[in-house]
Structure 1
Amino acid sequence: MNKHLAFIMLFFSLNSIAQTAPFDNNIYNPAIKTVEFYNTKKEPSFPIVNLNSAEQVQLAFDDLRGGVRNYYYSIEHCDGDWNSSNLSPTQYLQNFTEDKIIDYTYSSATFQKYTHYTVKFPNEYIKPKISGNYILRVYEDDDPTKLILTRRFYVLSTKVTVSGEVVASSDMDKRAHDQKINFQIDYGTLKVQNPNTDIRTWVMQNQRNETGSFTTQPQYIRGSQLIYGDLSTNEFPGGNEFRHFDTRSLKLNSDRVSHIYRDTANSVVLLTDMSRNLPNYTFLYDNDGQFYPLNQDGTDPTIDADYAHMFFSLAAGKASADGSAYIVGKFNDYKLDEHSKLDYDDKGKFYTHLFLKQGVYDYQYVWVDNATKKPDYTFFEGNYFDTENKYQVLVYYHPPAAQWEELVGYVVLSSTQK
């Protein structure tokens, strides 16, 4: 098969996948565990890189089937809403359309055998040509229909300056628990014909897309400055600091561990969690929902950290007839599905167990009431203005007559910055 024909076939197969696969963070094979994706400057930072810079994102994951698989990856440009930009790969890529993952290592001295894969890009094979949102797809046997996982990442070409702050809600009834993000954009000499259509901003809390929101209309315009401070926009529940557990060692109990059993597999029983929806805020150090695979008894947690069956229980004062409880964090992409849903026992507790790699994990519980069918992230956790949260502000620009949307500004704001 000649290279031109192969390129055409890949282009159409990727477009076919784009019509059916969501442009979201997903895992399509249950054997794939512990997916990490971050800017290599800091683990586990937001997966954003500057266009045409030396910055890279790193993807890492474990395959519990062991052995070696033929994994390939490709990327596709998306608009701010995470729909395909419907561009040809030649419009958003500088070189090749796909690459093979060749960096892998076998686990060492673990009950659970696995193969650890890593890849860093942009590289000499995969390099974006334009800024914006991108979806990464990993698939098996050079066949895009055999999806293994998808990840969102961002390529930034800074053309505007962004600044802002996190303040209390202007609504007196919400001041004790809501956090409001006010920010300004200065677009300088950028060709902006209509700020209400050419520029829009996306704000999310702790890198969580499911709770983010777009703002398309500034409160007012002052020269080249766009001021976003409207009373009714960019307001988020403060929530609470994340719960956590620590399994860096499977020899000793940490503060949240009740029992550790080691036989032909590792089992860790955590202390029962209680509702934290209390009148007053209590500080608890957390990692804003992130997780870190670590093993203090080994030398390289990427391959000598073992897996364990983690047993959770929640005494919540709610019955399963009223709704459903879920456990979420970055470790499961905050998915509310059958894998994160808790069961209910005759003692009035919700419970579940998850198969997770050793490390330090943040998590929280979510309630979905049968009547509203909507997730309530504060029902079990509480809701406080004092909670430390980080907010990502992304600025998208649609140039006149362009086919795609660029990412031209980015800033991280903290609720504790003064």
Structure 2
Amino acid sequence: MTIMQNGRTDNQITGLKPQFFSGDIMDFNYTRETIMEGGNEFRYLDIRSTRFYTDRVEDIELVDPFFHVTAVPDFPRNPSSYQYRQDLNGRYYIEVDDKDNDDLEADYLFVHFRLMTDRPQPSQKVFLNGALTNWALNSQSEMEFDADINAYRISLLLKQGYYNYQFLVVEQGETAGQLFPMENSFHETENDYLILVYYKNFNDRTHRLIGSQLVNSMRRNE
């Protein structure tokens, strides 16, 4: 069995085996082995318009042929406060204000993100994470530290729409990102969990997917 949190693959839990069988029922009665960081509600950016500044947009400038959007600076989140805000759990949707066909009329924009911090750690890498970066932790999603402004920076070419994102920290030698350093982590946070169950018979060469379930920490299962 595999468990994925939202769309992430870096922290997925794999290799969970049934603890016992009862007829056609496989029982996975795990507790400690399935614990993940709760994280925080996702940050958001609304770039559906190039004419109006939304609350998370600091500047819009046309540098032919693209509009360049500078997002309001982000900061590490307060470790002592949690506030629920409905989000997309890291996803995004393409949409344009004042136009009829989002898919055909949405423009590509260069979007500039900044994460302000005065304590960069040489042993850590910081990544912009979410569906906007394909949930990948790679050179395309890694942020660079700019000592002139004490901030991690990254620029992405994104289509107009509404985006969720978060910042992950990866320690040297590790492959999974941590939410706590930049996002903090709370047990109340609403998350999606995708459960995938695989089966391999004696004659099978590979495992087969035999079941899946999307579970939300606040809502009924889908």
The TM-score bracket by the shorter chain reads 0.7 to 0.9
Match of 1:253 in 2: 53
Aligned AA for 1:399? N
Identify the match of residue 62 of structure 2 among 252, 257, 262.
262
Q: Specify the SS of the correspondent of 1:212.
A: coil
Aligned AA for 1:333? N
Match of 1:335 in 2: 136
2:221 paired with 1:407: no
2:122 paired with 1:321: yes
Match of 2:200 in 1: 398
Identify the match of residue 94 of structure 2 among 277, 290, 293.
293
2:183 paired with 1:384: no
Aligned AA for 1:236? M
Match of 1:272 in 2: 73
Q: Deviations over 1:116-165 (max 9, x none)?
A: xxxxxxxxxxxxxxxxxxxxxxxxxxxxxxxxxxxxxxxxxxxxxxxxxx
- Structure 1 residue 231 displacement after superposition: 3.0
- Structure 1 residue 374 displacement after superposition: 5.5
Q: Percent identity?
A: 28
8 Å contact 2:10–2:176 — kept in the other structure?
A: no
Q: Which runs of 5+ in 2 are unaligned?
A: none
Displacement over 6 Å in runs of 4+: none
- Structure 1 residue 375 displacement after superposition: 2.9
Write the mapping of 1:43-54 to structure 2, written as runs, cut at 5 A.
Answer: none
2:218 paired with 1:218: no
Higher percent of residues as strand: 1
Identify the match of residue 242 of structure 1 among 17, 28, 42.
42
Q: TM-score, normalised by structure 2?
A: 0.88
Q: Specify the SS of the correspondent of 1:407.
A: strand
8 Å contact 1:320–1:344 — kept in the other structure?
A: no
Match of 1:306 in 2: 107
**CA distance in 1 between partners of 2:76 and 2:128 (Å):** 13
Aligned AA for 1:330? A
CA RMSD of aligned residues (A): 2.1
Aligned AA for 1:206? N
Q: Specify the SS of the correspondent of 2:12.
A: strand
**CA distance in 2 between partners of 1:409 and 1:382 (Å):** 33
Match of 2:28 in 1: 228
**CA distance in 1 between partners of 2:162 and 2:84 (Å):** 18
- Structure 1 residue 317 displacement after superposition: 3.5
- Structure 1 residue 384 displacement after superposition: 0.9
- Structure 1 residue 321 displacement after superposition: 3.3
Change in Cα spacing, 1:338 to 1:215, as seen in structure 2 (3 Å) is closer
**CA distance in 1 between partners of 2:63 and 2:186 (Å):** 43
**CA distance in 2 between partners of 1:356 and 1:284 (Å):** 23
8 Å contact 1:277–1:378 — kept in the other structure?
A: no
Please say which of residues 315-324 and 258-267 is displaced more in the overlay. 315-324
8 Å contact 1:256–1:271 — kept in the other structure?
A: yes
- Structure 1 residue 207 displacement after superposition: 3.0
Q: Which runs of 5+ in 1 are unaligned?
A: 1-200
Residues paired across the two proteins, number: 218
8 Å contact 2:7–2:90 — kept in the other structure?
A: no
Change in Cα spacing, 1:374 to 1:211, as seen in structure 2 (3 Å) is closer
**CA distance in 2 between partners of 1:269 and 1:330 (Å):** 19
Q: Deviations over 1:165-198 (max 9, x none)?
A: xxxxxxxxxxxxxxxxxxxxxxxxxxxxxxxxxx
User: RCO (CA 8 Å, sep 6+): is it higher in 1 or 2?
Assistant: 2
Q: TM-score, normalised by structure 1?
A: 0.49
**CA distance in 1 between partners of 2:22 and 2:173 (Å):** 46
Aligned AA for 1:329? G
8 Å contact 2:10–2:175 — kept in the other structure?
A: no
- Structure 1 residue 277 displacement after superposition: 4.6
- Structure 1 residue 301 displacement after superposition: 1.8
Write the mapping of 1:342-353 to structure 2, written as runs, cut at 5 A.
Answer: 342-345=143-146, 346-353=148-155
**CA distance in 2 between partners of 1:209 and 1:336 (Å):** 9
- Tell me which structure has the larger Cα radius of gyration: 1
Aligned AA for 2:151? K
Q: Deviations over 1:47-97 (max 9, x none)?
A: xxxxxxxxxxxxxxxxxxxxxxxxxxxxxxxxxxxxxxxxxxxxxxxxxxx
